[in-house]
Amino acid sequence: MHGSIEEGRSGLLPPGEGEVLRLPAPLPLDCGRTLESVDVAYETYGTLNEDRSNAVLLCHPLTADQFAGRDHPVTGKPGWWSYLIGPGLPLDTDRVFVVCANVLGGCMGSTGPASLDPETGRPYGLGFPVVTISDMVRAQAALLDALGIGRLLAVVGGSMGGMQALAWAADFPERVRNAAILASAARHTPQNIAFHEVGRQAVMADPAWRGGDYAGEEPPKAGLAVARMAAHVTYLSEAALEEKFGRRFQDRASLGYGFDADFQVESYLRHQGSSFTDRFDANSYLYITRAMDYFDLGSGEALSERFSGTKTRFLLASFTSDWLYPTPESRRVVRALHGAGAAVSFVELRNDRGHDAFLIPDPAFEAVLEGFLGTAMREAGV
């Protein structure tokens, strides 16, 4: 069977790994339904200070999880932001207490479609309610309540994590002193939706998906791998692909005149697709992409109004070669925040890595984040 399903450890989180908190109260959702029983799996880095003023919530992107600053228990690889989390690093664990929680609907221990539905005693599958970015934020807020953290020093996130950071600032303004939104947007464009829909259809086209009811059976790995491949192309820039792979061959000197992976880029993509299926649940992929597609904080004045009266200090950063959440989407947010009278820093970073730039070491990016968080720490006296 794919993953472990036991009380408080749903999805693919290995037994005995990480922290999981059962929320003390039911969680109401945007769709109108309520989840009676919700687990939130999370990791922390650093120490919460006495007056609980040094907590930073780090929000993860689509296919990452709470293992941002330590080796991943499934893949064994370093945490996805481990180069930014630690003593003396931008998320300086000598000074701040970083909390990172697996999103609602995820598959690394938080309640999601692979969790047991208390009403049926079977995994939810498609019986799981469709959740939104604001629902994810509401679950995180309940986790912070349980940890005794009222106001956050900062909420930080890239891509879908940035959407959560924006939703935090909009939904809980009094709890967010600073918000860093990286390579992100205030809404999903039709092109963003289109690419996600391709991925969902790839999963659903796999007979092993069984209408989402594959618990206890072989999961729809082939469909999920195709979905991952399609998405992965959108994370990379043309320049990055050109530099990493060009038209170079894999394991041969010339064309193979067949359908094996002739080109390095093909081999790379196939590996990205197949390895993904070991650490991600297909139904979670459907639910999380759906949440992102549903995300839309509004346009123009309506977007400004979501932040009216905000005291939060904002950083928005975009990357020149990111064509998935390009700079104009960040500028839209910046304009709306200016309209709301918010304190906003905005920087477009020259970087040819594409959307994934926010996951790759880059001195200029690190300096921006360090500067923003350094000021936040000084102003809060931590």
Candidate residues 191, 251, 302, 308; the one interacting with its own copies per rule CB under 8 A: 191
CB 123 within 8 A of CB 13: no
Regarding 120 and contact with its own copies (CB under 8 A), the answer is no
If 0-12 CB within 10 Å is exposed, 13-18 middle and 19+ buried, where does residue 102 land? buried
Calculate the alpha carbon distances from 287 to 63, 112, 125, 199, 205 in Å.
12, 8, 10, 12, 16
Q: Do the annotations mark residue 228 as ligand-binding? A: yes
Candidate residues 9, 60, 95, 187; the one interacting with its own copies per rule CB under 8 A: 187
Q: Is 159 a catalytic residue?
A: yes
Query: Which of 92/329 has CB closer to its own copies?
Result: 329
Regarding 230 and contact with its own copies (CB under 8 A), the answer is yes
Task: Give the phi and the psi of residue 200 in degrees, each rounded to 5.
Answer: -65, -40
Regarding 233 and contact with its own copies (CB under 8 A), the answer is yes
Distance CA(341)–CA(55), nearest Å, equals 25
Distance CA(281)–CA(286), nearest Å, equals 9
Minimum Å gap between C-beta 87 and its own copies is: 39
Stretch that binds its own copies, among 63-71, 219-227, 334-342, 370-378 (CB under 8 A): 219-227
Minimum Å gap between C-beta 220 and its own copies is: 9
Residue type, 106: G
Candidate residues 25, 47, 71, 205; the one interacting with its own copies per rule CB under 8 A: 205
Regarding 253 and contact with its own copies (CB under 8 A), the answer is no
Regarding 258 and contact with its own copies (CB under 8 A), the answer is yes
CB 141 within 8 A of CB 38: no
Candidate residues 40, 166, 286, 344; the one interacting with its own copies per rule CB under 8 A: 286
Residue of 276, 265, 215, 220 whose CA lies nearest to 240: 265
DSSP 193: H
CB 120 within 8 A of CB 112: no
The helix-helix angle for 264-276 and 221-235 (nearest 10°) equals: 120
Candidate residues 88, 121, 190, 363; the one interacting with its own copies per rule CB under 8 A: 190
Residues 25-64 that bind its own copies (CB under 8 A): 30-32
The catalytic site residues sit at 159, 322, 355
Residues lying near its own copies in the complex (CB under 8 A): 30-32, 126, 129-130, 187-191, 193-195, 197-198, 200-202, 204-207, 222-223, 225-226, 229-230, 233, 236, 238, 241-242, 244-247, 255, 257-259, 261-263, 265-266, 269-270, 273, 286, 290, 293-294, 296, 323
Per the annotation, binding residues for substrate are 228, 356
